[in-house]
Structure 1
Amino acid sequence: MKKWVSASLSLAMFFGLATGISSAQAKTPAFVSVVMDGEKIWFPDAQAFVDENSRTLVPVRFVAEKMNAKVGWEAETMTVPIERGDQRILLTIGESTAMVNGKEETFDTKAIISGGRTFVPLRFVSEVLGATVKWDDAASTALISTREGAEAKYDQWGRLIRTIDLPKNAKDYPYILADVPNEMYEMKYPHSHPDPTERKVSSELYSTIPEFKKENVDIWMSRLKAFGAVWLNADYQTIDYNWADELFANKVQLNGSELKYIKRYVDWVKENHIQMEGYLDPEPSMIYDDGFGGYHVRSKFRIKFDAFTNNERLIYDTWFPNDVAFEKGVWYEGYTDIYLSTNVGGNWGRTLKVDPQASLFRNYLMKKAG
């Protein structure tokens, strides 16, 4: 018997796009952004990522909530039925073929189960359901369109711009996005130079600094996503010094001394039996120059600690709040400013990396996820 499941259940599905990701990136894939009709999809737990076939994978809540499709699960046959209107898709776990309106079609990856969730290919499912899909390779973003928006205005990352209910400090930004709440815009700025002429808000940076162009910003955002994919995901049962090397590779390397501290944290993860998962989603239109040579990218984050012995140094972070009693198995979410810098002079546009002093908790807002 076919069982339809609601989007609130743990079944998750993912859709594939060609990305051209390198094998080094695929080792610890950063999650992929998904923008639908100009609004970014904020996934609550499992994130979009790239599989071994260089296909991007995204969660089932997207199909049920955003594409208004019915999503089911047939345990006996290990199949996932999807229906919307007169369109019918039947995907089988482990198979690269699907039944579409009773006819067999082939795609170039496989539906799988991982971490208790079901993953299936996107362009295939999205286009069958009537959407068009584009891929912004530089920004690692799937752009999905289900309707025409001739009157709407979008930014260079395909995001819908709003002109009503603006935040109090709207002038600080080049534009205001439809899918970003005012509390993220109105969050205080990090510690800054006392001379206001030294510091710059995002609107000033984009209008006056030549390095602030999409090709450079995409590189910075890619590094931040890759950094977050390592930084906020650790398991004492599997972690080793390769984790430290990977984290260090995305940071400004003034010298090699920080690597030994990261390796000490790896040892602490094993000793303290830390298991955590999370993601960092940087917003390219929200960057702040503190006047001291650092750029802070406002980012959304989500994190969950599944295991630990002591609530100490759960993250590699010198500002870790030991006065906060994190509950195990609970998702926390919020906004933070991640510090980027460079040790390159002149044309530094492609060189920004995560600063050694970057912290999730230095300038942040956080709450339990609803």
Structure 2
Amino acid sequence: ASAATSLPEVRKPSLAIDLIVDGKRVTLPDTEPYIDDAGNTMVPIRFVSEKLGADVKWDNANQIVTIIHKGNTIVMPVGSKKVTVNGSEITLDTMAIKKEGRVVVPLRFVSETLNAEVKWDGAWSAVNIVSPEYQEKVNAGSVTLDKWGRELRANQNSKKWILMSDTPDNVYEIKKYKIYHIDGEQVAKEFGQGFHKDELDRIVRNVKEYYKLALNIDYRTINYSTYYNSSFKLLGHNGYMNPEPFQEFVSYIKKNKVIVEGYAYPDPTTIYSYYGTPFIRTKFKFRVLSATDYNQFNADSYKPGDKSEKVTWVKPGQWYETYSDVSLFSNSQDFRATLKIGSTANMFTKGAYRHKELK
């Protein structure tokens, strides 16, 4: 494959925002939630509204989106701050816009107009939307939520994992791999109990921040010093990182004309320790927009060796969802409060990840 002839504009990387709707963590097929300059969380309107049981109609000729839900009608023209709710016009501090072919709208306005409660958890960068009907189930005890507002499966029949209703079985079946070969295993059900929510939030945020860097690379703007210094802050180490591999990597990115966009969504319920290494199972979402060699587009796929698989299935511009374990490291006695990313190669460990195209 050759580099794209029509390159996208330079993008500002976004931190992954977990979107939880009625207890389920949502995977979007393309455009992700983001925070605009006014501080509004913007989301693709169709997916959120339909998850809440609304009917969404798009008038392409007039560039108007209409949401119908339980007798309420919201009409939002793209590019206008004036919208109508049941025939009454109101003015927003932001507007519906088109982004990559999707209509994105301010989340709080639409959700509250659809009579859903919206909560923002900045500690791990997540939005939780709960409909009144779902809240009734929670109050009645017919569903159980974890600390992050996600629904647990009713049948917790695993000895190792806390099973979430939004996670497929094959994710829990991903093979574990050894790094240090000491201390045996502490499974997620046991290991995670030693952490407070704020400690797990910090670990999740660290993984998100690192992959905001490592999965949002543009050969036109990448700078070795910035990339190395940012990696130094986000990776766990003993106080020193050899700069040469980072210099080589940045040079390769420029030579290979890489433009990649992506996000990481660690699951705090899946943190475990395996033969001396803590891991957290993580969902990734990414697409490669430009490259001379699409097999090597970030540090995880660069120079695959004995442990890493050569990524031969990547297609230009296609969004992918992958799951794998991210290793963690700390040399501090304050172990739980200082764990950070432990390796730059987590996504494509041989036999220890899942991937699929998003549609």
- TM-score, normalization: structure 1? 0.81
Distance 1:312 1:359 in 2: 15
Distance 1:352 1:219 in 2: 9
Query: How far is the alpha carbon of 1:41 from its aligned partner?
Result: 1.0
Give the aligned partner of residue 106 of structure 2: 121
Query: How far is the alpha carbon of 1:336 from its aligned partner?
Result: 0.4
Distance 1:95 1:53 in 2: 15
Assess, with a 3 A threshold, how the Cα gap between structure 1 residues 142 and 203 changes in structure 2: closer, same or farther.
Answer: same
% of aligned pairs identical?
32
Distance 1:337 1:205 in 2: 15
Alignment of 1:246-261 (within 5 A): 246-261=230-245
Assess, with a 3 A threshold, how the Cα gap between structure 1 residues 198 and 66 changes in structure 2: closer, same or farther.
Answer: same
Which AA in structure 2 matches 1:237? R
Alignment of 1:77-96 (within 5 A): 77-96=62-81
Q: Residue 237 of structure 2 contacts residue 329 of structure 2 at CA under 8 Å; is this kept in 1?
A: no
Alignment of 1:91-106 (within 5 A): 91-106=76-91
Name which of 123, 132, 155 aligns with 2:146: 155
Q: Residue 305 of structure 1 contacts residue 330 of structure 1 at CA under 8 Å; is this kept in 2?
A: yes
Alignment of 1:166-177 (within 5 A): 170-173=158-161, 175-177=162-164
Assess, with a 3 A threshold, how the Cα gap between structure 1 residues 176 and 325 changes in structure 2: closer, same or farther.
Answer: closer
Distance 2:289 2:76 in 1: 31
Query: How far is the alpha carbon of 1:194 from its aligned partner?
Result: 5.0
Which AA in structure 2 matches 1:246? S
Query: Deviation string for 1:9-55 (max 9, x for gaps)?
Result: xxxxxxxxxxxxxxxxxx64312111111111111222222222222
Name which of 182, 190, 214 aligns with 2:177: 190
SS at match of 1:206: helix
Query: How far is the alpha carbon of 1:112 from its aligned partner?
Result: 2.7
Pair 1:73 & 2:58 matched? yes
SS at match of 2:267: strand
SS at match of 2:37: coil
Distance 2:338 2:81 in 1: 40
Which AA in structure 2 matches 1:177? M
Distance 1:312 1:136 in 2: 36
- Unmatched runs of 5 consecutive residues or more in structure 1: 1-26
Give the aligned partner of residue 223 of structure 1: 206
4+ residue segments displaced more than 6 Å: none
Q: Residue 13 of structure 2 contacts residue 216 of structure 2 at CA under 8 Å; is this kept in 1?
A: no
Query: How far is the alpha carbon of 1:238 from its aligned partner?
Result: 3.5
Which AA in structure 2 matches 1:364? Y
Q: Residue 50 of structure 2 contacts residue 56 of structure 2 at CA under 8 Å; is this kept in 1?
A: no
Q: Residue 199 of structure 2 contacts residue 336 of structure 2 at CA under 8 Å; is this kept in 1?
A: yes
Q: Residue 97 of structure 1 contacts residue 106 of structure 1 at CA under 8 Å; is this kept in 2?
A: yes
Distance 1:83 1:323 in 2: 43
Pair 1:273 & 2:260 matched? no
Query: How far is the alpha carbon of 1:178 from its aligned partner?
Result: 0.8
Distance 1:161 1:359 in 2: 26
Relative to structure 2, which stretch is displaced further, 357-366 or 241-250? 241-250
Query: How far is the alpha carbon of 1:131 from its aligned partner?
Result: 1.3
Give the aligned partner of residue 3 of structure 2: none
Query: How far is the alpha carbon of 1:103 from its aligned partner?
Result: 1.5
Distance 2:197 2:127 in 1: 16
Distance 2:170 2:331 in 1: 33
Assess, with a 3 A threshold, how the Cα gap between structure 1 residues 82 and 217 changes in structure 2: closer, same or farther.
Answer: same
Give the aligned partner of residue 30 of structure 2: 45
SS at match of 2:144: coil
Relative to structure 2, which stretch is displaced further, 317-326 or 110-119? 317-326
Distance 1:215 1:159 in 2: 16
Distance 1:289 1:44 in 2: 32
Give the aligned partner of residue 286 of structure 1: 270
Give the aligned partner of residue 366 of structure 1: 355
Which AA in structure 2 matches 1:198? G
Query: Deviation string for 1:335-364 (max 9, x for gaps)?
Result: 10011111322x233221111354211232
Query: How far is the alpha carbon of 1:224 from its aligned partner?
Result: 1.0
Query: Deviation string for 1:53-94 (max 9, x for gaps)?
Result: 222222234235312323333455443222223211122334
Q: Residue 46 of structure 2 contacts residue 56 of structure 2 at CA under 8 Å; is this kept in 1?
A: no
Distance 2:212 2:292 in 1: 23
Which AA in structure 1 matches 2:278? Y
Which AA in structure 2 matches 1:277? E
Distance 1:250 1:366 in 2: 25
Computed over aligned residues only, the root mean square deviation of the Cα atoms, in angstroms, reads: 2.6
Give the aligned partner of residue 134 of structure 1: 119
- TM-score, normalization: structure 2? 0.83
Pair 1:342 & 2:330 matched? yes
Assess, with a 3 A threshold, how the Cα gap between structure 1 residues 114 and 237 changes in structure 2: closer, same or farther.
Answer: farther
Which AA in structure 2 matches 1:114? K
Distance 1:75 1:328 in 2: 27
Q: Residue 275 of structure 1 contacts residue 308 of structure 1 at CA under 8 Å; is this kept in 2?
A: yes
Query: How far is the alpha carbon of 1:247 from its aligned partner?
Result: 4.0
Distance 2:335 2:357 in 1: 38
